[in-house]
């Protein structure tokens, strides 16, 4: 199991979607946000300017977004 250097905190709740801050565990700084991007009909990552990302942290963000999209599809099919 790899060590996680980032965490995701819900910072806003919209009627159908949520907004999450991506936070550095070591510094507590916000590194970006994950939110719904309507033109693409999916959650996307919006990094803060001048942040640096390696493949491990990008993979964590990707996994988080995949989980959000999967949960959204499951809720849609339950209706």
Count of domains for the chain: 1
Does a structural domain hold residue 25? yes
H/E stretch holding 78 reads helix 55-78
Does a structural domain hold residue 72? yes
Does a structural domain hold residue 65? yes
Structural domain harbouring 31: 6-78
Does a structural domain hold residue 48? yes
Tens-digit pLDDT string for the chain (79 aa) = 568 899 999 999 999 999 999 999 999 999 999 999 999 999 999 999 999 999 999 999 999 999 999 998 888 776 6
Does a structural domain hold residue 1? no
pLDDT at 24: 96
Give ∠ CA 58-9-21 in degrees, rounded to 5.
Answer: 55
Does a structural domain hold residue 51? yes
Does a structural domain hold residue 40? yes
């Amino acid at each position: 199991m790899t060590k996680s250097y980032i965490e995701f905190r819900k910072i806003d709740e919209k009627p159908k979607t949520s907004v999450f801050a991506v936070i550095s565990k070591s510094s507590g700084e916000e590194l970006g946000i994950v939110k719904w991007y309507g033109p693409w009909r999916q959650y996307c990552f919006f990094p803060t300017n001048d942040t640096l990302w390696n493949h491990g942290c990008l993979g964590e963000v990707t996994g988080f977004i995949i989980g959000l999209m999967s949960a959204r599809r499951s809720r849609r099919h339950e209706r």
